[in-house]
Amino acid sequence: MNKVLEIDNFTLSFKIKDKEVKAVNDISLYVEKGEVVGLVGESGCGKSLTALSIVNLQPSNSKIVDGQIEINGEDVLSYSREMWNDKRGKDFSIIFQEPMSALDPLVKIGNQIKESIVAHADESINSVDLKSRIMDMLRAVELRNPELVYDSYPHQLSGGMRQRVLIALSLINNPCLLVADEPTTALDVTVQSQILKILKQMNEELSLSVLFISHDLGVVKNFCERIYVMYAGLIVESGISSDLIENPIHPYTKGLIDSIPSIKKRGKTLSTIKGNVPTLERRSGMGCPFASRCYLAKPVCYVKKLEEQRVGSRSLFCHLINLEEELERIKSDAKN
């Protein structure tokens, strides 16, 4: 196995009113070379914090309490500030949810991309080579008029075009890992699928590994090979996409899948998961965080520490469901 990204028992906390609250709680995940992995959950469950932590852009009032993040086998949490500046944008990149404000309004697109190349170049590159490299990248993200985009200011481009520019910006130095933090959430649906297509192309052509973060399981299911489902700072279930989508086991995953609209459910009321993700202050830190919204919940759920159950590529955090028995049951159901 060749893991590009490996997060082990990572915990990130905030201090709120003298109380330490864990926003990301003991999560472990990995992305292999050339793999597209999804990290899914509702708003406020810690996905974006996880994404930001990978590139060391987590909020300055947060604190990494425990765990390890390795990229290409290097322990990145021990990096100095200079090391981070050297690696970010070169070995790994991130793209964000909001393309509208993510570019400097006063600098032309071409020059903004140029900066990223120059910042990581060992020797000076002449301006003709620089430009041709940027133009190639702008073409690769399927911008229709790259020459025009090169000389444009951000406000002259649409949201979809800006997100393409941001993808170009993040991939210009051929990183091996891209963290995509809800890159399509702010875009309309047709643009959304184009952006996904480009990311998929980049993944195949450059063997780029992608950690794709989304609140929308419908988007993730066709795009990612494996999926992690996150709830209130915890990964509750993970597995191969098709397997996880067809046979969800954790009540939370089931809830998420039931709330994806589809043609089959036409005319029926779309089911939702009752309640909201508890805010940081209201998390007890004990037991299963989903217990208060779970239809199966028993008293034990609120107090006992969760343990991981693992069968093959499937993993589950739940007190009440036995993963092995459940998988057996699914298998026999399929036979009948």
Partner 1 sequence: MHYYTRKLLSTLITLFLVSVLTFSIFQLVPGDPAQMILGVDANPQQIEALRSTMDLDKNPVIRYTNWVLRAVQGDFGTSYKYQRPVAALISSSITITAQLAFLSLLLSIIIGIPVGIFIAKRDKEKKVIPLSILSQLGMAIPSFCVAILLIDIFSIKLKILPSLGYIAFSESPFGCFKSLLLPSLSIAFGGAAVIIRYLRSNIVSERREDYVRTNRSIGLSENQILYKHILRNSLIPVITIFGILVSEVLGGSIIIENVFSLPGIGKLITSSITSRDLPLIQALVLYLSIIVVITNMIVDLLYGVIDPRIRIKGDD
Which of 36, 94, 245, 249 lies at the binding interface for partner 1 (CB under 8 A)?
94
For partner 1, what does the binding mask look like between residues 165 and 184, x meaning CB under 8 A?
-x--xx--------------
Amino acid at 83: M
Nearer of residues 210 and 249 to partner 1, judged by Cβ:
210
Task: Return the DSSP state at 145.
Answer: -
What three-state secondary structure class fits 290? coil
Least Å distance between CB 120 and partner 1? Answer: 6
Q: Per rule CB under 8 A, is residue 245 in the interface with partner 1? A: no
Q: Which of 201, 220, 204 is nearest to 212 (CA)?
A: 220
Q: Are strands 308-311 and 314-317 parallel, antiparallel or unpaired?
A: antiparallel
Closest approach of partner 1 to the CB of residue 153, in Å: 5
- Is the Cα dihedral 151, 156, 160, 162 positive or negative? positive
Indicate whether 119 belongs to the interface with partner 1 (CB under 8 A).
yes
> By C-beta, is 99 or 248 nearer to partner 1?
99
Our CB check for partner 1 shows the closer of 104 and 328 to be 104
Task: Determine if 55 is a binding residue for partner 1 (CB under 8 A).
Answer: yes
Of the candidate residues 8, 32, 70, 98, the single one contacting partner 1 (CB under 8 A): 98
The amino acid sitting at 60 is S
d(CA 94, CA 208): 12
Kindly state whether residue 114 participates in binding partner 1, applying the rule CB under 8 A: no
Torsion sign (Cα): 216, 221, 223, 227? positive
Which stretch, 24-32, 72-80, 97-105, 205-213, contacts partner 1 (CB under 8 A)?
A: 97-105
Is the four-CA dihedral 325, 326, 330, 333 of positive or negative sign? Answer: positive
* Residues that contact partner 1, how many (by CB under 8 A): 31
Listed ranges 2-10, 148-156, 268-276, 291-299: which one lies at the site for partner 1 (CB under 8 A): 148-156
Question: Given candidates 15, 16, 19, 107, which one binds partner 1 under the rule CB under 8 A?
Answer: 107
Q: Which of 85, 194, 292, 309 binds partner 1 (CB under 8 A)?
A: 85
Among 3, 33, 63, 120, binds partner 1 (CB under 8 A): 120
Q: What is the DSSP letter of 88?
A: B
| Tokens linked to 137 | 């990248």
Rounded CA-CA distance 284/280 in Å is 9
- Our finding on whether 79 is near partner 1 (CB under 8 A) is no
Q: Which residue type is seen at 66?
A: D
Q: Which is nearer to partner 1, 89 or 248 (CB)?
A: 89
For residues 90 and 250, which CB has a smaller minimum distance to partner 1 in the complex? Answer: 90
The one among 38, 46, 89, 251 contacting partner 1 by CB under 8 A = 89
Residue 29's DSSP bridge partners are 7
- DSSP assignment of 99-120 equals GGGSS-TTS-HHHHHHHHHHHH
Applying CB under 8 A, the span of 3-11, 38-46, 113-121, 295-303 interacting with partner 1 comes to 113-121
> Residue type for 319, please?
H
In 46-70, which positions are buried (b, 16+ CB within 10 angstroms) versus exposed (e)? bbbbbbbbbbbbbeeebebeebebb
Which residues of this chain interact with partner 1, rule CB under 8 A?
A: 55, 57, 82, 84-90, 93-94, 96, 98, 101-107, 115-116, 119-120, 153, 155-156, 166, 169-170
